[in-house]
Structure 1
Amino acid sequence: MNPWMFSIPLISALIGWLFNILAGRYLLYNYLPKKKDQLSATLGSKIESVLPFSKLEEQIGNPELVEKAMPMIETHIDEFLSVKLPQEIPMLAMFVGNKTTDKIKEVFINQLRALFPKVMTTILSNLKEKINISKTIQAEIDKTDITVILKENLSGTMQRFGYTGLLLGFIIGAVNLLLFYAIQ
């Protein structure tokens, strides 16, 4: 058997290492930057689907939430009816007594209980539309240089990828050498 045949595993290892390094660099510098828009759109929609907007909308309509807010709202209505209203409209204060202010307060509270979930749901949906998390994430990813980020985060992985090619190439070369030896 020719002594040069023993170099087959080494040549195969070198070819495997070189192939993996070139494939990794192609992926890192050419393929992924070209797919940046598609990746950012997919990532944005995935993150948006994970965010709990639907749960927030459900919770805002929960009567317990409204009841927890009522003491603070009642305090503000009391202050408005007993302090602010007489200051702003003194003539009205002369005609409005405690019974009337209590009735006005009761009407305000009932209206707020009915109105509060609707207003908060509208605010949340407007906020959801205004923020548009998917487009925000997509815009932020478009601003960044994905190649630099990938290079920083995948440098060790790329090195292991090259060593894996080296090892696999050596194994394939050794198997080829054994096959050549077995054939002869």
Structure 2
Amino acid sequence: MSYCLLLLLPVSALTGWLLHMAAGNYFLNRYLPRQDEQLAAKAGQWAGELVGQSFNIEQKVSDPALIEKAMPAIEQHIDDFLNVKLKEEIPMLAMFIGNKTTDKVKEVFINQLKILFPQVMLQIAGNLKTSLNPEQIVIRQLKQQPISSLVKKQAAAPLRRYRNAGLLFGLAIGLVNLVIFYLVC
């Protein structure tokens, strides 16, 4: 057996390492950057579906329990308006309006607010949902910082292991070739 055949081992190992390095670099520097727009669109679509399914803003803001929690503060503001501010702004009106009248006006306001509040909140939630489109936000952010640049930062150590695996596979293939040459010759 010729000693030149022993060069088969380092050549095979180097070939395996080079092929894995070329494949890894091609993936990170050529293939992945070409996929940035498609990946951003998919991520945006996923984020939009996730937000739409999990948050369900319309249902939460129109919940009667939420309205009941807000009512004490609303009643306090109505009281302040009817008993203090209205009398300050229109002093002549204060002479004609008593506590019974202000209590009745307050009751009417509160009943109307209980009817109006869920509708207004649904409208606000709908406007909020369209103005805060999570799909577009994710796409915009991923166009500013593409996925390929994020992956490159995270892929340094795995890429090193991938190249080393190529070196080991090349060495194993070289050993198999060496055994075959030894058995045949």
TM-score by length of 2: 0.88
For the residues of structure 2 that align with 1:83 and 1:37, how far apart are their CA atoms?
A: 59
For the residues of structure 1 that align with 2:165 and 2:172, how far apart are their CA atoms?
A: 11
The match for 2:67 is 66
The match for 1:26 is 26
Give the total of aligned pairs. 183
The match for 1:161 is 162
The match for 2:44 is 44
Letter aligned with residue 12 of structure 1: S
The match for 1:87 is 88
The match for 2:103 is 102
CA positional deviation for 1:93? 2.4
Question: In 1, are the aligned partners of 2:36 and 2:146 still within 8 Å (CA)?
Answer: no
For the residues of structure 2 that align with 1:176 and 1:115, how far apart are their CA atoms?
A: 83
For the residues of structure 1 that align with 2:114 and 2:15, how far apart are their CA atoms?
A: 74
- Secondary structure in 2 aligned to 1:76? helix
Distance 1:146 1:65, change over 3 A: closer
For the residues of structure 1 that align with 2:9 and 2:120, how far apart are their CA atoms?
A: 73
The match for 2:133 is 132
The match for 2:121 is 120
Distance 1:179 1:117, change over 3 A: farther
Unaligned segments of structure 1, at least 5 residues: none
Percent pairwise identity: 46
- Secondary structure in 1 aligned to 2:158? helix
The match for 2:7 is 7
- Secondary structure in 1 aligned to 2:155? helix
For the residues of structure 2 that align with 1:75 and 1:105, how far apart are their CA atoms?
A: 10
CA positional deviation for 1:72? 0.7
CA positional deviation for 1:126? 0.9
Give a deviation string over 1:3-37, Cα, whole Å, max 9, x none: 33333332222111111111111111111111111
The RMSD of aligned alpha carbons is 1.9
For the residues of structure 2 that align with 1:114 and 1:182, how far apart are their CA atoms?
A: 92
Question: Which range moves more in the overlay, 20-29 or 4-13?
Answer: 4-13
For the residues of structure 2 that align with 1:145 and 1:44, how far apart are their CA atoms?
A: 13
- Secondary structure in 1 aligned to 2:27? helix
Letter aligned with residue 76 of structure 2: T
For the residues of structure 1 that align with 2:134 and 2:81, how far apart are their CA atoms?
A: 39
